Amino acid sequence: MHYLYLLINLFSFLPTFLFSFHPKIKFYQWWPRLIPSILLVAAAFIAWDVYYTYIGVWGFNPSYLTGFFIGNLPFEEILFFFCIPYACLFTYFCINLMIKKDYLKKSEKSITLILIVGLTLSAFFFYPAKYTTATFFLLSVILFLLQFIIRVAWLSRFYFAYLFLLIPFLIVNGILTGTGIENPVVWYNPNEMIGLRLLSIPVEDIFYGLLMLISSVFLFETALRKNKQANMK
């Protein structure tokens, strides 16, 4: 099925795009702040993707692709970095809109410390597995900066929202990595990862997704804060 990866992107994006115009949500009003955030993060992750595809850390099954490539990446892979962050940022926004209580605020620093220590130790222990080391180390650095240097106010809310985002993540990433289909859409070099999987999903993907989304949320929340400050003047 040559349109599978494309359909996964579209079915992830379209419902959230359409609900962006719901009168009680009006997410479209934030597009001027949202789009630059997605573009910046997409540029960084696409560059990473290009390099890792080039050196064979991962690759793509042509059986599930339309066949249109930009450089060494299929069009669907590039589309992924726009469709999935949009859907996730929309969900994050809606969760914060509907749930006012900050359930994980008291546990925020503990969660961050556990993640930083665990990720850092794993990055060194599994070196030189490129996917594991790069993902775990970069995420631990980002978390340290957000918690202890920048001291963002939304980190606990992001952790809470990510618990909900893991559900569609398991569905989308499960299909991409081979759950329920004959072969994976995206394959991974076993020498560049731990080898531990949740269903068909490499454990690294969970933290790769966390890294991508928390970077997008940081830029989006920064833009929202600047907008509120400008309106107060």
38 to 46, 113, 181, 208, 209: CA distances (angstroms): 12, 27, 30, 16, 14
Q: Which of these, 111, 204, 118, lies nearest to 159 by C-alpha position?
A: 111
DSSP annotation of 154 reads -
Q: Give the pLDDT score at 225.
A: 83
Instruction: Note the pLDDT of residue 228.
Output: 66
What radius of gyration, in Å, describes the C-alpha atoms of the chain?
18
The 10 Å Cβ neighbour count of residue 170 is 16
Distance (Å, whole) CA 128 – CA 148:
28
The number of distinct structural domains making up the chain is 1
Q: Residue 38, by phi and psi: left (phi above 0), alpha (psi -120 to 50) or beta?
A: alpha
- C-beta atoms surrounding 123 within 10 Å: 20
pLDDT in tens, the chain (233 residues): 899 999 999 999 999 999 999 999 999 999 999 999 999 999 999 999 999 999 999 999 999 999 999 999 999 999 999 999 999 999 999 999 999 999 999 999 999 999 999 999 999 999 999 999 999 999 999 999 999 999 999 999 999 999 999 999 999 999 999 999 999 999 999 999 999 999 999 999 999 999 999 999 999 999 988 776 666 55
pLDDT at 202: 97
Return the DSSP state at 203.
H
Residue reference for tokens 């955030």: 37
Quick one: pLDDT at residue 226?
78
Q: The domain containing residue 180 runs over which residues?
A: 4-232
H or E stretch at 60: strand 58-60
